[in-house]
Amino acid sequence: MQTLDSFSTRAGGFRNVVVTAVELTTSLAADTEGTWQGLLSGSSGIKPLTDPDITRHKLPNAIGGKLVSDPTDELDRVRKRRMCYVQQMSYVMGKRLWDSIGRPDVDKDRLGVCIGTGLGGADSIIAANDAMHNLGYRKVSPFAVPMSMPNGVSGVVGLEIGARASLVTPVSACASGCEALVHAWRSIILGEADMVVAGGVEGYINPVAIAGFSMARALSSRLDEPEKASRPFDRDRDGFVFGEAAALLIVESEAHALARGAKPLARLLGAGLTADGYHLVAPDPEGTGCARAMRRAIETAGVTAAEIDHVNAHATGTTMGDLAEAKGIAAAIGNHPSVYAPKSALGHSVGAVGALEAALSVLTLRDQVIPPTLNLDNQDSEIDLDVVHSKPRHTTIEFAMNNSFGFGGHNAAVLFGRF
């Protein structure tokens, strides 16, 4: 039986795929370069949450990474009425991304969209339910159903840019954004599309989510020092911290990119999706599922584990999650690559985070520098990894792995290469 590396990118079995543009909004900056420079300078976006929806419930663990600028402020009144928040965010970010590359005249039958989200328009369902119970069914918006559809985040972007190849919306918890890139890569190597807008979006930090995760004791309780609360791989980590973000990327075949005069930022060489088959919310403690996803990405790229220079880790700052991923990295790749944990600065943006961190991997390859992981004061003795901390590391990076894992046992990994 032939293995995947027989059909790998390096072996010429798959089309060469590249990333040609990135659009971000985060708790550090409203744009890509501002976010990147903030990370390199060691800044943190984690602060106390002062929104009335959160303070009126007197919620514990009320810290997180709020967006610096709400992209939906760019929308007119009509679009705000007809879209839920994540659709509004997706539309604005998609428009920004498409504008940034000059709205190219491409074959729309060969243009796809794949954007992941965690909760989608759940807030719209709650609002419609409240309106019906309190005021009667006539007060339910005629847009209640389309606003609540998770796939709306891809639909609104597809309509804006005229995409007709496919619209895909992975909903796989915290792996959603990274999984979107996996599907985009597959769509291109299978010849279904030449170009895909891919990424992830997520809504506001929700008070119900804070309450639920607080009751599950999964959130950091370091409230007196919010910027030090997210501590991936640190001995004293005590849970994750929520963040807000959106991240979209242009993924296309290299031939298509060069034909339209685009300058690639990095190569997307391989990808892997696996499932733990272990528990609905807890990771496999040995990291076997995430290791298989990384191996799949390595095989489809056609490189070797020894060639991987860098890993952008999922690393949420939970006791079990960080250790499981560290074991998975060691098993699939080894202990030699540098490792970075962006959630230490930006928090955990759920459905958006996999795309956000993939974009940061692309920027690392572009600039050949790794930002510092914050708050790594005492690395867990059980985690034998070269975690970059204290200051940025300038080095040579040819291949970088990006990991994302989600409740349900989802594991997604994408492997990027220097262009």
Residue 342's identity, in one-letter code, is: P
Whose tokens are 């220097």? That residue is 418
Question: 314 an active-site residue?
Answer: yes
Question: Residue 129, by phi and psi: left (phi above 0), alpha (psi -120 to 50) or beta?
Answer: alpha
Q: What is the C-alpha to C-alpha distance for residues 114 and 181, in angstroms, rounded to an integer?
A: 7
Question: 410 an active-site residue?
Answer: no
- Give the DSSP letter of residue 371: P
Q: What is the C-alpha to C-alpha distance for residues 394 and 376, in angstroms, rounded to an integer?
A: 19
Closest by CA position to 88, among listed 100, 97, 75, 78:
75
Question: 174 an active-site residue?
Answer: yes
Q: What is the C-alpha to C-alpha distance for residues 415 and 182, in angstroms, rounded to an integer?
A: 10
Among candidate residues 183, 256, 310, 314, the one labeled active-site is 314
Task: Name residues whose C-beta falls within 8 Å of residue 236's C-beta, 6 or more positions apart in sequence.
Answer: 377, 378
Among candidate residues 183, 256, 310, 348, the one labeled active-site is 348
Cβ–Cβ < 8 Å for 342, 371: yes
Residue 166's identity, in one-letter code, is: S
Distance from the first to the final alpha carbon of the chain: 32
Q: What is the C-alpha to C-alpha distance for residues 333 and 313, in angstroms, rounded to an integer?
A: 13
Sign of CA dihedral 97, 103, 104, 106: positive
Task: Name residues whose C-beta falls within 8 Å of residue 142's C-beta, 6 or more positions apart in sequence.
Answer: none
Q: What is the C-alpha to C-alpha distance for residues 184 and 60, in angstroms, rounded to an integer?
A: 39
As a whole number of Å, the CA-based R_g of the chain is 20
The token pair that represents 198 in the structure block: 């891919």
Stated as kind and residue range, the H or E segment containing 210 is helix 207-215
Question: How is 231-256 classified by DSSP, letter by letter?
Answer: -TTBTT---B-EE--EEEEEEEEHHH
Please give the positions annotated as active site: 174, 314, 348
